[in-house]
């Protein structure tokens, strides 16, 4: 079987250019969307993401405000910064890069962000709204995955979806979105027994576990659509560092109908959806209507 490789990089580029057009016309109305990104500490991977977010934010015509705080920043100081940004009218979206240093309570930080400015969709208000089908801000990674699925498959109604992983930032919101799309959804995790048998039922398989190349060829239903969220840095046979997903891409792609690569799949879509969410919340904050092409914001 010839698999289709879902080109997240190019879908993300098209999405960013649509966003940039929308931002351009907003600016003509005197509205300049602004995204604040806070990075605490000096984790190298986080620095890469934050740099790339800032660059793409500016390329879309939005204001990018970056705050880089020392690793030993007290929780109180971070809460004060968030409170200042909550009140700052030039800031439409606030993102605190995760993970945070161990001395900081992630939940307390997420809860402190004004729900209307929570561009990640991690605040309990937005998670609740997503579950009840309200006007939620949808977490960027699951939203990007859904866009690629719809691009590939069109209507998802009645399809069987298996989500590997149950984190608050990927697995759980992904499952909520797929339920909304009328899929029959199974969530599997580290305590799931016979996980391969569950996966073999899936028309759609989302892997978000953080285990390099866990998903093997014999876990796959022939023709299934595979979305690989995993970002794992490993050493290859020559001891060079390389990036792999949670799916054994070379072998699984022999059997799948369509599959996202790592890199170049979910990652670029996540950042594009961050810009999309910044646009959407800016429109909402200004009581403007959301264009039809922005999915799941009815
Ligand atoms: N491309 C992108 O934009 C993004 C990529 N990521 C990547 O996605 C991956 C997942 O991220 P995240 O959700 O934050 O991770 P977490 O570590 O928060 O969650 C991992 C989930 O996978 C489950 N799990 C772990 N091992 C197994 C196993 N052997 N079999 C089945 N399930 C297992 C865990 O189960 P349990 O709950 O039982 O512990 C948990 O639910 C990571 O590689 C991360 O880097 C994350 C965000 C964005
Ligand atoms: N508050 C918060 N929001 C997030 O959305 C968030 C976060 N914290 N913490 C970390 C995770 C991870 N994440 C990624 C974004 C882009 C790529 C990405 O662009 N990846 C490139 C490769 C980049 C590389 O080479 O390392 C790709 O897959 O092609 C990956 C991962 C967002 N996250
Ligand atoms: Mg933590």
Q: Is residue 82 part of a domain?
A: yes
Write down the ipTM of this complex: 0.98
Q: Which of the pair, 236 or 213, is modelled with greater confidence?
A: 213
39 and 99 Cβ atoms separated by less than 8 Å: no
- The last residue of a domain, from among 114, 149, 184: 114
Atom number of ligand 1 nearest to Cα 265: 1
Q: Is the pLDDT of residue 276 over 90?
A: yes
Q: Is residue 216 part of a domain?
A: yes
Per-chain mean pLDDT for the chain: 97
* Two structure tokens written together for 108: 């307390």
Q: Is residue 275 part of a domain?
A: no
Rg (C-alpha) for the chain, rounded Å, is 19
Q: Is the pLDDT of residue 116 over 80?
A: yes
Q: Is residue 298 part of a domain?
A: no
Per-residue pLDDT of 54-67, as tens digits, reads: 999 999 999 999 99
Q: Which domain holds residue 169?
A: 140-266
Per-residue pLDDT of 89-110, as tens digits, reads: 999 999 999 999 999 999 999 9
Does residue 105 carry a catalytic annotation?
no
Q: For the whole model, what pTM was predicted?
A: 0.98
Known binding-site positions for NADP(+): 165-167, 231
157 CA to centre of ligand 2 in angstroms: 29
Q: Give the mean model confidence (pLDDT) for residues 185-208.
A: 98
**Crossing angle (nearest 10°) for helices 171-180 and 124-132:** 30
Best CA proximity match to 206, nearest among 243, 129, 242, 153 = 153
Q: Is residue 58 part of a domain?
A: yes
Tally of domains in the chain: 2
* Residues in the 5 Å CB sphere of ion ligand 3: 99
Q: Is residue 288 part of a domain?
A: no
CA dihedral 217, 222, 224, 230 (to 10 degrees): 0
Does residue 160 carry a catalytic annotation?
no
Q: Is residue 9 part of a domain?
A: no
Cα distance between residue 222 and residue 296, in whole Å: 29
pLDDT class for 298, splitting at 50, 70, 90? low
Per-residue pLDDT of 217-248, as tens digits, reads: 999 999 999 999 999 999 999 999 999 999 99
Atom number of ligand 2 nearest to Cα 266: 28
97 CA to centre of ligand 3 in angstroms: 11
Q: Is the CB of 96 under 6 A from ligand 2?
A: yes
pLDDT, residue 75, reads 98
User: For residue 58, what is the domain's CATH number?
Assistant: 3.40.50.10860
Identify any residues that bridge with 187 across adjacent strands, giving them in sequence order. 163
Q: Are residues 52 and 106 in the same domain?
A: yes
User: For residue 173, what is the domain's CATH number?
Assistant: 3.40.50.720
Cα distance between residue 280 and residue 294, in whole Å: 8
Per-residue pLDDT of 27-60, as tens digits, reads: 999 999 999 999 999 999 999 999 999 999 999 9
The DSSP-derived string for the chain is -PPEEP-HHHHHHHHHHHHHHHHHHHHHTT---EEEEEEES--HHHHHHHHHHHHHHHHTT-EEEEEEE-TT--HHHHHHHHHHHHH-TT--EEEE-SSPPTTS-HHHHHHHS-GGGBTT--SHHHHHHHHHTSSPPPPHHHHHHHHHHHHHHS--TT-EEEEE---TTTHHHHHHHHHHTT-EEEEE-TT-SSHHHHHTT-SEEEE-S--TT-B-GGGS-TT-EEEE---EEEE-TTS-EEEE-SB-HHHHTTT-SEE--SSSSHHHHHHHHHHHHHHHHHHHHTTPPPPTTSTT--
Q: Are residues 147 and 240 in the same domain?
A: yes
* Closest ligand relative to 274 C-alpha: 2
CA dihedral 164, 167, 171, 174 (to 10 degrees): 180
Best CA proximity match to 297, nearest among 1, 3, 6, 22 = 22
* Two structure tokens written together for 212: 């390099």
63 and 35 Cβ atoms separated by less than 8 Å: yes
219 CA to centre of ligand 2 in angstroms: 26
Neighbouring residues of 84: CB distance < 8 A, sequence distance ≥ 6: none
Q: Is the pLDDT of residue 133 over 80?
A: yes
Cα distance between residue 269 and residue 265, in whole Å: 7
Does residue 53 carry a catalytic annotation?
yes
Q: Are residues 161 and 231 in the same domain?
A: yes
């Amino acid at each position: 079987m010839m698999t289709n490789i879902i080109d997240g990089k190019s879908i993300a580029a098209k999405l960013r250019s649509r966003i940039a057009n929308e931002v351009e016309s907003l600016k003509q109305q005197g509205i300049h969307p602004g995204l604040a990104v806070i990075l605490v500490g000096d984790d190298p991977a986080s620095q890469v993401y934050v740099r790339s977010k800032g660059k793409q934010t500016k390329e879309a015509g939005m204001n990018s405000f970056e705050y880089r705080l020392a690793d030993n920043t007290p929780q109180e100081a971070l809460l004060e910064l968030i409170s200042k940004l909550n009140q700052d009218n030039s800031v439409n979206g606030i993102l605190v890069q995760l993970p945070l240093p161990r001395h900081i309570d992630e939940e307390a930080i997420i809860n402190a962000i004004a729900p209307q400015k929570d561009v990640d969709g991690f605040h309990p208000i937005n998670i609740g709204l997503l579950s009840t089908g309200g006007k939620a801000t949808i977490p960027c990674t699951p939203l990007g995955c859904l866009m690629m699925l719809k691009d590939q498959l069109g209507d998802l109604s009645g399809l069987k979806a298996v989500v590997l992983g149950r984190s608050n930032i990927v697995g759980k919101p992904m499952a909520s979105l797929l339920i909304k799309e009328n899929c029959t959804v199974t969530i599997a995790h580290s305590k799931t027994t016979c996980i391969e048998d569950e996966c073999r039922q899936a028309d759609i398989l989302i892997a978000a576990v953080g285990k390099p190349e866990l998903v093997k060829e014999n876990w796959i239903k022939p023709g299934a659509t595979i979305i690989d969220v995993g970002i794992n840095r490993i050493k290859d046979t020559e001891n060079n560092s390389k990036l792999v997903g949670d799916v054994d891409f070379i072998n699984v792609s022999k059997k799948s109908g369509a599959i996202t690569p790592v890199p170049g799949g979910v990652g670029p879509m996540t950042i594009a959806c961050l810009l999309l969410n910044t646009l959407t919340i800016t429109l909402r904050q200004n009581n403007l209507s959301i264009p039809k092409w922005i999915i799941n914001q009815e």
